[in-house]
């Protein structure tokens, strides 16, 4: 395993959730036309449709808190797989909802974009 994928994965997720929680209209830069998002039972493809979906989610204030973050190299060409479990605080709700999310990151020049993104709330 290379030395750097954990750092990339951690920095990516912190940036992603910070951007999501402050202004999710700007998340499009992290996706490409071939990117896929499964958000609960919805399936979207392409940066434009993915961001439309994320922007349309029915909350104003949102905060992600990471509980666990685990990364592995996913290909010889530098792909990285990250699984996050965490908590989501929405609007004025007192109780956080637990979620699980996986990102498949593909290198692109000096940066990475999201090829696969699967998000699920953990109902109990």
Residues contributing to the site for its own copies (CB under 8 A):
1, 36, 38, 43, 45, 67-68, 70, 72-75, 81, 83, 85, 98, 100, 102, 104, 115-116, 118, 120, 122-124
Closer CB to its own copies, residue 26 or residue 121?
121
Smallest distance, its own copies to C-beta of residue 110, A: 22
Which residues have a Cβ under 8 Å from the Cβ of 53 and sit 6 or more positions away?
Answer: 37, 39, 42, 44
Smallest distance, its own copies to C-beta of residue 66, A: 12
Closer CB to its own copies, residue 23 or residue 40?
40
Closer CB to its own copies, residue 27 or residue 101?
101
Closer CB to its own copies, residue 23 or residue 121?
121
Smallest distance, its own copies to C-beta of residue 85, A: 5
* Strands, sheet with 97-108, edge to edge from the N-terminal-most edge strand: 42-45, 31-39, 111-121, 97-108, 80-90, 62-73
- Give the chain's length: 124
CA–CA separation, 60 and 24 (whole Å): 10
Smallest distance, its own copies to C-beta of residue 11, A: 18
């Amino acid at each position: 395993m290379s030395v750097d994928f954990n750092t990339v994965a951690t920095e990516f997720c912190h940036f992603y959730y910070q951007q999501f929680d402050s202004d999710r209209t700007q998340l499009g830069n992290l996706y490409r036309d071939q990117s896929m998002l499964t958000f609960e039972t919805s399936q979207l493809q392409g940066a434009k449709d993915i961001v439309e979906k994320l922007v349309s989610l029915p909350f104003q204030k949102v905060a992600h808190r990471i509980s666990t973050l685990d990364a592995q190299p996913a290909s010889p060409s530098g792909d990285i797989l990250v699984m996050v479990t965490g908590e989501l605080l929405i609007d004025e709700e007192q109780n956080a909802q637990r979620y699980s999310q996986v990102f498949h990151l593909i290198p692109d020049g000096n940066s990475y974009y999201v090829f696969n993104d699967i998000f699920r709330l953990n109902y109990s």
